[in-house]
Structure 1
């Protein structure tokens, strides 16, 4: 079983993970996990646990995990947005075909405000991108 386990285990936390070194080569043949660090995904900070010094192998494993985790979270973010588009379409169909007056009264103001806010931000960001694109094109000329 020891050969099947990774050398490190990352216990996911809200902003990163607690990093453990996995040890199966002990006299009791038990799985032991020794916390060696805490990593923050938002800023990439790695804090060794206690007075521990991290080895190059520890740092490399943590950096690989951090790179993979950041990529995974980015994929999840965009997937969540695609789901939101689907939910908006489903909500539109529900409003058109199924919603009662009481249900619409309950959600209309919140939906209108959220959609207005989203539209305002999307329009501003689109304008910023178009302006930046025009400035890049003008700089090339």
Structure 2
């Protein structure tokens, strides 16, 4: 049997509930003692009940927060790449398979969403260019 980790992080919307894992009992049952709640958005670590967290526990939780933020950031960019794929698939669907009723159902919402996205992208690109972002300016000159 593989060794269990010392801590378990039950994912929540803004972070996690942190549990200490123990099998130090007569039946060797897994016991999970909640020790803290962590919010990854603001970095708040709140001990559970009257418990005081040790410096090692705080360090483990902070390291988990860093790793979790990385996972979430990777997911965000992956979602954007998927959105690009979905836009391409939607274009193909509109061109090849959509009925008039289908188009009546989605056209206005799609146009508004695409207009909103285009407006924000153009504004952000203009901001990067006006701020003199050297990496972006070099990419623009090569394009």
With structure 2 as the length reference, what TM-score do the two structures score?
Answer: 0.90
1:73-88 matches, cutoff 5 A = 73-88=72-87
What displacement does 1:33 show?
A: 0.4
Question: Per the alignment, in what secondary structure is the counterpart of residue 50 of structure 2?
Answer: coil
Give yes or no for the alignment of 1:26 onto 2:25.
yes
* Structure 2 residue runs without a partner (length 5+): 135-143
Paired positions, count: 134
Q: How many angstroms apart in 1 are the aligned matches of 2:10 and 2:63?
A: 15
1:10-49 matches, cutoff 5 A = 10-49=9-48
Q: How many angstroms apart in 2 are the aligned matches of 1:132 and 1:43?
A: 28
1:87-106 matches, cutoff 5 A = 87-106=86-105
Q: 1:22-81 CA distances to partner (integer Å, 9 max, x unpaired)? A: 011223321110000000011111000011100122111101110100000000000000
Task: Classify 1:120/1:12 alpha carbon distance in 2 versus 1 (closer, same or farther; 3 Å).
Answer: same
- More off after superposition, 37-46 vs 27-36: 27-36
Post-superposition, which runs of at least 4 consecutive aligned residues in structure 1 deviate over 3 A? none
Q: How many angstroms apart in 1 are the aligned matches of 2:35 and 2:27?
A: 21
Q: How many angstroms apart in 2 are the aligned matches of 1:134 and 1:56?
A: 41
1:51-130 matches, cutoff 5 A = 51-130=50-129
Q: Which residue in the other structure is 1:139 paired with?
A: none
With structure 1 as the length reference, what TM-score do the two structures score?
Answer: 0.91
